[in-house]
Amino acid sequence: DAFISLIHNNDSLSDVDKLQYLKGALTKEAQDIVGAIAITNANYVVAWDLLKTRYDNQKLIVKSYLDQLFAIPVMKKESYDLLIALIDGFDRSVKMSARMGVQTEGWSELLAYMLCARLDPSTLKQWETHHRSTEVPKYDDVLQFLRGHASVLQATQQEKARNVDSSQITTKPKARNSYVHSVRTESAATSPVQMFNLEKQLWRQVATQR
């Protein structure tokens, strides 16, 4: 769509320029189709038609979107990243299918079921608590709840990260305690008389520091 609006439908560009832009925008597989075509005004239409014949297959395009939809995995645990991936996967596949002309308006209940079936137990429980109805849920209702729940998970995830960072801050031990520990460690390897003298020396120094 971007190429069509910016290049293909741009009357200020010659067909030679369009063909150059076209070749530069293609993937390797597509380049193999038009790679041997010389860059001339007349050949732009030829290259464009060849690519449309190969890739403008609505059935295959829609199939790829539906394959992506059914391939979305089940969430193994409650997670912001997993939930956002689930939401985006459904949203993208459904909207792109609709854009290709598929009538998705009647899919609401089915999509809601598929979406709930991929939730982890904790998120599913929260959805059921939120819904509190015997009516069959709609896709948009489930999607709206999950987006709100994702915002909550994102906020709590950031708060946990801040708490972890703050817990890693350590303070230096007091100098007096370090001195006492070093003297007592040294005294452990001395005779009783030497230990007594060291203890007296220690308490004198402690008394002078008060």
How do residues 141-163 score in pLDDT, each as one tens digit?
Answer: 999 999 999 999 999 887 776 76
How do residues 161-204 score in pLDDT, each as one tens digit?
Answer: 676 666 665 555 554 555 445 545 554 555 555 655 666 566 56
Tell me, yes or no, whether 65 and 52 share the same domain. no
How do residues 27-56 score in pLDDT, each as one tens digit?
Answer: 888 889 998 999 999 999 999 999 988 888
Q: Are 77 and 98 in contact (CB under 8 A)?
A: no
For residue 78, being part of any structural domain is answered with yes
For residue 176, being part of any structural domain is answered with no
Structural domain total, the chain: 2
Tell me, yes or no, whether 29 and 73 share the same domain. no
Q: Which of 149, 165, 181 finishes a domain?
A: 165
Q: Are 146 and 114 in contact (CB under 8 A)?
A: no
Tell me, yes or no, whether 129 and 80 share the same domain. yes
Any idea what DSSP says for residue 103?
-
Distance CA 133, CA 176 (A): 67
Tell me, yes or no, whether 159 and 65 share the same domain. yes
Tell me, yes or no, whether 142 and 99 share the same domain. yes
How do residues 64-84 score in pLDDT, each as one tens digit?
Answer: 999 999 999 999 999 999 999
Tell me, yes or no, whether 3 and 50 share the same domain. yes
pLDDT value of position 53? 87
Domain of residue 16 covers 1-56
Tell me, yes or no, whether 74 and 93 share the same domain. yes
Tell me, yes or no, whether 40 and 77 share the same domain. no
Q: Are 115 and 146 in contact (CB under 8 A)?
A: yes
How do residues 76-120 score in pLDDT, each as one tens digit?
Answer: 999 999 999 999 999 999 999 999 999 999 999 999 999 999 999
pLDDT value of position 28? 87
Q: How crowded is residue 74: how many other Cβ atoms within 10 Å of its Cβ?
A: 10
